[in-house]
Amino acid sequence: MLDFTRVLAGPYATRILADFGAEVIKVQSRKTASGSELNNTGYFNTWNRGKLSITLDLSHPVGRELAIRLVDISDVVMENFTPRVMANWGLSYQSLQKVRPNLIMVSMSGMGQTGPWRDFAAFGPTIQALSGITFLTSFTPDYPLGLGYSYADHVAGLYAALAVLVALEHRDRTGEGQYVDLSEYEAMCTLLGPAIMDCELNHSPVVPRGSYPDYALAAPYGCYKCQGDDRWCVIAVFTDEEWQALRSVLGNPPWTDEARFSTAWQRREHIDNLNELLEQWTVQHSPEEVMDLLQGVGVAAGIVKNAREVAADPQLTARHFFATVTHPTLGETTFDSTPIRLERTPARFGRAAPLLGQDNRYVYQELLGIGDRELTELIEAGVIS
């Protein structure tokens, strides 16, 4: 894979494929390897482990010729520039398809390659705002909060990885390549499908309601304060059976016997009250106690874990969710491995993210056959920076 992507959405897609053995050649340049594209950082190491790095100045005409030679030896090209950037460099799908007829090219962008907003500046928070999830992730409609981080980038990355695999399947069957135009805005919207349909079919606005169960008949359900500083648990009761089990853990206090809590519908009707009363119990316990006690009787409950707690989580640890590799300058580094657990052909995490241009020699000389003298000239000319 020839990987022109940057920051998170694109690199997340190519990372998934690199984790499972794809040879991903990340095209960087000294001029643009900064911020989240700075090689010697934890962020870069996390999103780009297992990839190769070459430097290439695409603003240089010879650089673009080299890019074409790289396309010639690649199955897939992935890019997430604003639309027309690749075309302006003579690297549109139309041009590249002439070089490699069965090329698979995936263009990821905020808004898609077409449409009135296609040239709009967009980052994760922008896209999340446009998709509706920011508005809906709030306690009230008057004061939206949003997610606080770029979840949309991961979503787009997942869809892009899926698109590559689908295109490879198509190529296997027909010999044909494919062009894929992927919009991160649309990717986020697909994860709000039911809410959009509710609004459309029921002609009623969909409004945020904090951590209520969006559409499930569940009560109690929510986030409850626990003992300790900023410690919380979550509890979700769906059935009468679970409600009885919860009651028994609480010691069957009289309030749980009230008629207004006796059926699932009534509990949902009175969920605010129910949640308040339940919290009077949870505040006396640590979230660990709440989870143990309730899971012990078959009720869904969990700890609201912070990053430190997630990193030390017993379940994630038992499943070796975190992988460690040695990085040339950062030393021993840890990152999340992958949720994709294929039993026979698991992902491998043997390599940290590359240093800038680390694989120039391998890619340009071994893969493209460029000799020592030509390579030196290209470096001196700044084509390979």
Partner 1 sequence: MALAGLRVLDLADECASFCSKLLADLGAEVIKVEPPGGDKSRWQGPFWGNLSHPEKSLSFWYNNTSKLGITLNLESNEGQEIFRSLIDRTDVIVETFPPGYLDGLGLGYKTLCESNPGLIMASVTGFGQGGPYSKYKSCDIVASAMGGQMYVCGAPDTAPLKPYGQQAYYTASLFAAVGILMALRVRKHGGQGQHLDISLQEAVAATLEHVLVRYLYEGVVSGRQGSFHWNRSFCLLPCKDKYVVLSPLIEWETLVELLDSEGMASDLTEARWQDEEYRTRHLDHVVEVLQRWTKAHTSAELFELGQLMRLPWAPVASPEDVLVSPQLRARSFFVPVAHPEAKTGFSYAGAPYKFNRATWDIKRRAPLIGEHNIQIYHHELGYSREKIDELSSRNAI
For residue 62, the number of C-alpha atoms closer than 13 Å in the C-beta half-sphere is 11
Tell me the three state secondary structure of residue 28.
strand
Closest CB 380 distance from partner 1, rounded Å:
35
Q: Does 343 bind partner 1 (CB under 8 A)?
A: yes
Q: Does 183 bind partner 1 (CB under 8 A)?
A: yes
CA–CA distance from 54 to each of 63, 344, 354, 355 (Å)?
Answer: 12, 32, 9, 9
Closest CB 14 distance from partner 1, rounded Å:
13
The binding track of 132-171 with respect to partner 1, each residue x by CB under 8 A or -, is: xxxxxxxx-x-xxxxxxxxx-xxxx-xxxxxx-xxxxxx-
Exposed e or buried b per residue across 236-269, where buried means at least 16 C-beta atoms within 10 angstroms of its C-beta = bbbeeebbebbbeebeeeeebeeeebeebeebbe
Task: Using CB under 8 A, pick the residue from 31, 98, 260, 319 that binds partner 1.
Answer: 319
Element (H, E) at 76: strand 76-79
Number of residues in contact with partner 1 under rule CB under 8 A: 149
Q: Does 382 bind partner 1 (CB under 8 A)?
A: no
**Closer of 147 and 381 to partner 1 (Cβ):** 147
For residue 47, the number of C-alpha atoms closer than 13 Å in the C-beta half-sphere is 23
Closest CB 358 distance from partner 1, rounded Å:
20
In this chain, which stretch among 67-75, 330-338, 357-365, 374-382 interacts with partner 1, using CB under 8 A? 330-338
Question: Would you list the DSSP string of 152-220?
Answer: HHHHHHHHHHHHHHHHHHHHHHHS--EEEEEEHHHHHHHTTHHHHHHHHHH------BTBS-SSS--SS
Closest CB 31 distance from partner 1, rounded Å:
19
Q: Does 281 bind partner 1 (CB under 8 A)?
A: no
**Closer of 112 and 382 to partner 1 (Cβ):** 112
**Closer of 12 and 89 to partner 1 (Cβ):** 12
Closest CB 144 distance from partner 1, rounded Å:
5
In this chain, which stretch among 54-62, 116-124, 255-263, 362-370 interacts with partner 1, using CB under 8 A? 116-124
Whether 142 is a known active-site residue: answer no
282 in Cβ contact with 304 (< 8 Å): no
In angstroms, the CA 271 to CA 261 distance is 9
- Residues 22-51 within binding reach of partner 1 (CB under 8 A): 41-43, 45-46
Indicate which residue of 153, 172, 198, 240 is catalytic: 153
- Residues 247-276 within binding reach of partner 1 (CB under 8 A): none
Closest CB 26 distance from partner 1, rounded Å:
18
In angstroms, the CA 375 to CA 382 distance is 11
In angstroms, the CA 125 to CA 266 distance is 38
Q: Please, what is the Cα angle at 167 between 163 and 173, to 5 degrees?
A: 150
Task: Using CB under 8 A, pick the residue from 84, 117, 262, 329 that binds partner 1.
Answer: 117
For residue 123, the number of C-alpha atoms closer than 13 Å in the C-beta half-sphere is 7
CA–CA distance from 221 to each of 83, 141, 229, 243, 298 (Å)?
Answer: 44, 20, 22, 11, 15
**Closer of 80 and 134 to partner 1 (Cβ):** 134
The binding track of 203-242 with respect to partner 1, each residue x by CB under 8 A or -, is: -xxxxx-xx-xxxxxx--xxxxx----x-xxx-x-x----
Closest CB 364 distance from partner 1, rounded Å:
29
Q: Does 98 bind partner 1 (CB under 8 A)?
A: no
Q: Which residues are catalytic?
A: 153
